[in-house]
Structure 1
Amino acid sequence: MTGNPVRRYYRNAYDYEAVKRLLLDPCRSPEAGACALCSIDPLTQHDHSSELTPLGTDAVLIVDGVFAFRPEINEYWDFRVWLQVDAELSVQRGAERDQDWAGTDAESIHRDRYLVAEHIYLQEVDPLPMMDVVIDNSEFTRPRVVTP
């Protein structure tokens, strides 16, 4: 595959068709009895799509993830929450969290790949106007609502 690796990451990080087929569509269907919470694990490359989780009649699906409001899946959300945090703080938190698997590359992965991809996402999708609520998560132990 050719082209900018960050753009490739942004465009191909998620298999949105699998997300819809395995998780989102079943969770929307009253007839569905189960859904898959994972397709291909990005770290191990193991396929978990046949491991099903039962869906109760009163089940609620909460999804957390980057690029969650891209057009491919944006229609699925009933309520949208944006966790707002300064870019540098995001890089710092991510590098600390991913130190175990990324080692000394953790900061550059977050700064040069994830943060750049996030800027592409913000520019192309402009998700903030879609949000039902925005939460400032600068102080991890004291998040605060910044929009009604």
Structure 2
Amino acid sequence: MARSVLELGKGRLLVGIDGFTAAGKTSFGHELAERISAAGRPVLRATLDDFKKPWKDRHLYDRESGEGYYRNAYDYDRVRSLLLEPCRSPGATSCVLCSIDPLTQRDHSGETTPLASDAVLIVDGVFAFRPEINAYWDFRVWLQVEAELSVQRGAERDQDRAGSEAESIHRTRYLVAEQIYLQEVDPLPKADIVIDNSVFQKPRIVPK
């Protein structure tokens, strides 16, 4: 995988990692970053979850239903202006890797990170191939897991934070949002590679 990315060229490269909630996108992104860094290229990591709209403003729009989450949770204007546009611009020397921390709700949009001319930016997150940002990626990865496995993994992961409501949130909010995404965007054909990540220890490339 790292070789496929590096073979794209020596300039800046943007990699998008998409897939259902709890498909393993963040861990996969970290592992890919380690391999690319070991090959001698500077790597930056970001997640779309750090570019959601402030939770305090949720009363201004629906963010808690499945459709509302899909339509309203993410701030794609900030994703573009703070992160993707600078990384795509040869003259830019810095970018912002986090807009608002989803846990603390602290605004980090004023904190910049140096941007090397040959940096590889790896971004993970649901809905990464939406029309608002899809054109920025040089390489697209889809991590495939079944919907029910996504719910089970996500509920287990979020048990400490959401308690007994964790499974319901994943089933009625995140899964519904992802089903809308599949219907409206059809993201899998956009991927350069599809990986079955049902078993974390045994990822498997799915023939397209």
Query: For this structure pair, what is the TM-score category when the shorter chain's length is used for normalisation?
Result: over 0.9
Structure 2 counterparts to residues 1-148 of structure 1, below 5 A: 1=61, 5-147=65-207
Moved over 4 A (4+): none
Distance 2:63 2:125 in 1: 25
Matched residue SS, 2:142:
strand
Structure with more strand by fraction: 2
Matched residue SS, 1:50:
coil
Cα offset for 1:21?
Answer: 0.3
Give unpaired runs (5+ residues) of structure 2.
1-60
Matched residue SS, 1:89:
helix
Give unpaired runs (5+ residues) of structure 1.
none
Distance 2:207 2:73 in 1: 29
2:143–2:194 contact (8 Å) kept in structure 1? yes
- Aligned residues: CA RMSD: 1.6
Name which of structure 1's ranges 16-25 and 56-65 shifts more when overlaid on structure 2: 56-65
Give the letter for the 2:165 counterpart.
D
Q: In structure 2, do the counterparts of structure 1 residues 34 and 12 end up closer, same or farther at CA, with 3 Å as the change threshold?
A: same
Q: In structure 2, do the counterparts of structure 1 residues 55 and 119 end up closer, same or farther at CA, with 3 Å as the change threshold?
A: same
Give the letter for the 2:185 counterpart.
V
Q: Percent identity?
A: 74
Give the letter for the 2:199 counterpart.
E
Cα offset for 1:65?
Answer: 0.4
Cα offset for 1:58?
Answer: 1.7
Query: What is the total number of aligned residue pairs between the two structures?
Result: 148
Alignment-derived partner of residue 6 in structure 2: none
Name which of structure 1's ranges 65-74 and 92-101 shifts more when overlaid on structure 2: 92-101
Distance 2:100 2:67 in 1: 21
Distance 2:67 2:74 in 1: 13
Distance 1:146 1:34 in 2: 36
Calculate the TM-score normalised by the size of structure 1: 0.94
